[in-house]
């Protein structure tokens, strides 16, 4: 399928471009402000689907709203009609199309042009009235509060909030890309639709700023909030994308003693923490038990002997693990355990614990193993 994306150099356009670039069954026809009128017409005539993103939302003059939003759409519709085409069109409109302001009116006029085209050509038209869209590639200090907050906070610059209780509705750009992918895969039929995205989020400016400051502090506290699902996943990904590439690295504390090194990598709210430690040849680490804490060990390098002994029954077990044969070794509550480097090289061990270490309640009690 040949897919024409207008406004391909814009925020949503770049995300759609990168999203569809991996789908080799589609050919992308990309147009932007540098595209000539003749080139645009040729692309319109050859496209099997048009994703119309081109537009303006912060011009120098009010008249430019209508030039960038209404007239660009008019050019697309007229080319289709003159070519006797009934190509499906997906249009990225705005919730402001319901509001009487220059931007809103220009978007509404563009919608009306597409609705008229749909009626006359019996073509499928999908009009998405999008709220604030956020994600990677959005321009900060322009028209996206998320982009501005992410950019400034990631660089330790101040942000301005005039009404912290104000709620904003948000759509993650990746969710919009998936929505469009769904349309492409089912080949739109005849009809007019104002589809609703399944994933739309509402957050106050105060909540938004607080979450972003939490993400910023991860580098110093090593404690990360839940960022694996829903809005938090999308927002955290967006925040990270605004760091300068040279700042994609940061140092974390390292603790050394004759037994080797110990480094905490990340602490989570509900899924424990990740660390690693080392041990020179012949060194034993551990020699303790836990009442509720459990751990998973993965040998990254070297050869290790794990020893376990039940606190009451004194049942004993040994396990030898080599880094060349990846295995997870669990510690079991109520069993004393230690680990000895029985190889010739430094032992490197990755460690996950199901709870974050609390120095006041460490749940770690020294004990010796007697074979």
Structural domains in the chain, sorted by start: 2-133+172-201 (3.40.50.720), 255-366 (2.60.120.10)
Alpha carbon distance 279, 304 (integer Å): 10
Kindly report the backbone phi and psi dihedral angles of residue 305, in degrees, each rounded to the nearest multiple of 5, phi listed first: -110, 120
Please report where in the chains the tokens 């931007």 appear, as a residue.
103
Q: What are the counts of helices (DSSP H) followed by strands (DSSP E) for the chain?
A: 9, 21
pLDDT at 54: 85
Closest CA to 201 of 153, 239, 234, 159: 234
DSSP state, residue 68: I
Contacts 24+ apart (CB under 8 A), 180-184: 180/16, 180/51, 180/90, 181/19, 181/20, 181/23, 183/49, 183/88, 183/90, 183/126, 184/1, 184/3, 184/20, 184/26, 184/49
Kindly report the backbone phi and psi dihedral angles of residue 203, in degrees, each rounded to the nearest multiple of 5, phi listed first: -150, 145
- Strand-pairing partners, residue 29, are 4
Measured between alpha carbons, how far is residue 338 from residues 134, 285, 327, 371 in Å? 48, 6, 17, 12
pLDDT at 187: 58
Closest CA to 259 of 237, 280, 234: 280
Closest CA to 29 of 12, 107, 41: 41
pLDDT tens series, the chain, 371 aa? 899 999 999 999 999 999 998 888 889 999 998 999 999 999 999 999 999 998 766 665 666 666 767 888 999 999 999 999 999 999 999 998 999 888 889 999 999 999 999 999 999 999 999 999 999 999 999 879 999 999 999 999 999 999 999 999 999 999 999 999 988 877 566 667 888 888 899 999 999 999 999 999 999 999 999 999 999 999 999 999 999 999 999 999 999 999 999 999 999 999 999 999 999 999 999 999 999 999 999 999 999 999 999 999 999 999 999 999 999 999 999 999 999 999 999 999 999 999 999 989 999 999 999 98
Q: Max Cα separation, the chain?
A: 90
212-234 core/surface letters (b: 16 or more CB in 10 A; e: else): bebbbebeeebebeebeeebbeb
* Active-site residue list: 103
Alpha carbon distance 80, 209 (integer Å): 45
What tokens were used for 170? 């948000």
Contacts of 239 (CB under 8 A, 6+ apart): 150, 153, 154, 212, 215, 216
């Amino acid at each position: 399928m040949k897919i024409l994306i207008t406004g391909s150099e814009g925020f949503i356009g770049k995300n759609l471009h990168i999203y569809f670039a991996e789908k080799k069954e589609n050919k992308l026809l990309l147009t932007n402000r540098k595209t000539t009128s003749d080139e645009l017409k040729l692309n319109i005539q050859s496209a099997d689907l048009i994703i119309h993103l081109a537009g303006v939302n912060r011009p120098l003059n009010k008249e430019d709203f209508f030039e960038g939003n209404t007239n660009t759409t008019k050019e697309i519709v007229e080319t289709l009609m003159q070519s006797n085409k009934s190509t499906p069109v997906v249009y990225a409109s705005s919730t402001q199309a319901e509001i009487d302001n220059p931007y809103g009116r220009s978007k509404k006029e563009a919608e009306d042009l597409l609705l008229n085209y749909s009626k006359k050509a019996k073509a499928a038209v999908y009009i998405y009235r999008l709220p604030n869209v956020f994600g990677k590639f959005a321009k900060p200090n322009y028209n996206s509060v998320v982009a501005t907050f992410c950019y400034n906070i990631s660089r330790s610059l101040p942000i301005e909030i005039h009404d912290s209780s104000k709620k904003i509705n948000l759509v993650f750009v990746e969710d919009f890309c998936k929505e469009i992918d769904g349309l492409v895969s089912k080949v739109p039929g005849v009809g007019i639709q104002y589809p609703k995205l399944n994933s739309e989020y509402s957050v106050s400016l105060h909540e938004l700023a607080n979450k972003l400051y939490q993400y910023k502090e991860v580098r110093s506290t090593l404690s990360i909030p839940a960022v694996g699902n829903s809005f938090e996943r999308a927002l955290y990904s967006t925040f990270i994308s605004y760091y300068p590439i040279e700042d994609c690295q940061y140092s974390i504390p390292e603790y050394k003693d004759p037994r080797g090194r110990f480094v905490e990598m990340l602490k989570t709210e509900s899924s424990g923490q990740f660390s690693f430690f080392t041990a020179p040849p012949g060194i034993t680490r551990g020699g303790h038990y836990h009442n509720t804490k459990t751990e998973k060990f993965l040998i990254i390098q070297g050869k290790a002997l794990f020893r376990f002994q039940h606190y009451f029954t004194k049942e004993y077990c040994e396990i030898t693990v080599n880094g060349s044969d990846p295995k997870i070794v669990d510690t079991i509550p109520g069993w004393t355990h230690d680990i000895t480097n029985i190889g010739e090289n430094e032992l490197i061990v990755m460690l996950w614990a199901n709870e974050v270490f609390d120095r006041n309640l460490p749940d770690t009690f020294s004990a010796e193993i007697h074979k």
